[in-house]
Amino acid sequence: MTAQLEKCREESSKKDQLISQLTQQNHRLEEQIRQMCQRESSERKTKRDPTLQTNVKVVVAIQNAMGNNYDYTLPFLHTVNQTVTDNVINELNKNGGGQLSDQDITSACATYFTNQKKDVQREINGTKGRHRGINRSNRRKRKKLDERTLAVNDPRVNLTPEERQLGQQVVNLGMAGVSSDEDDDNGSDPSDLKRPEKVWKVKEFSWRSSKMGAIVAKLDTGFVEDIASPATKRARRPFIRDSTCVVSDRRPPKNVEAWMLNLG
């Protein structure tokens, strides 16, 4: 009887050690995933706002002030526009010590030219304000998606294994699974007339189930409480989710899971 009891204790001890090892391995894996997501998020931001593109904008603005303007009624490779590009190349090479290739600068100038030409056309068509609104909305959605990706992969966020799995499925929807927001001045503090606090009013999906809404809320709360730095928390606008929110008419994405749909 004593031998059997001792054997049971040894088996129980082995099981505890195995569980401990698996838990440690899981934490290490989650940490690796979190670091990978941070790198991917950083790379996306770098691609969206490269230093060279910013420098080109500054130098082109200086050229414009000197009367050397791009002519958006002409092609980018037209002699008139090539003169502006050559001036930008010379200016950047002079200030950058020749470390930038002419090809890279020309490519950045072409991107700037294309964007500005489209902007001029939107100004003519009266769609410039709407386009800027769409861009702002997409930037906010991308930011929310990045934050939820970090939250679902960060072991500091208190999620059950099932919630983490469901959260990953939500993140897998990409931008199509992120609701857009609209400004709401009703959330301003009337006592602070100099700097009223703006809030975001969430545009809710009509197709989203309450279960999906709960998972999304956990990811958003987890990022703010467990990951975000104090400076990030101070810079965030509050969100409103209530009966006064506008309902989005966007359809569910093709890769939506059945549990995410509101079938009521």
- Using one digit for the tens of pLDDT, what is the confidence trace for 98-143? 567 888 888 888 888 898 888 888 888 888 777 777 777 788 888 8
- Using one digit for the tens of pLDDT, what is the confidence trace for 45-89? 434 445 777 778 778 777 776 777 889 889 999 999 999 999 888
Distances (CA, A) of 171 to 91, 147, 252: 44, 10, 14
- DSSP H or E run through 33: helix 2-48
Q: Give me the long-range contacts of 214-219 (CB less than 8 A, separation at least 24).
A: 215/163, 215/166, 215/167, 215/170, 216/148, 216/170, 217/241, 218/159, 218/163, 218/167, 219/147, 219/148, 219/151, 219/152, 219/157, 219/167, 219/170, 219/171
- DSSP H or E run through 200: strand 199-202
- Torsion angle of the four alpha carbons 154, 43, 146, 143, in this order, in degrees rounded to the nearest 10: 140
Q: Are 212 and 178 in contact (CB under 8 A)?
A: no
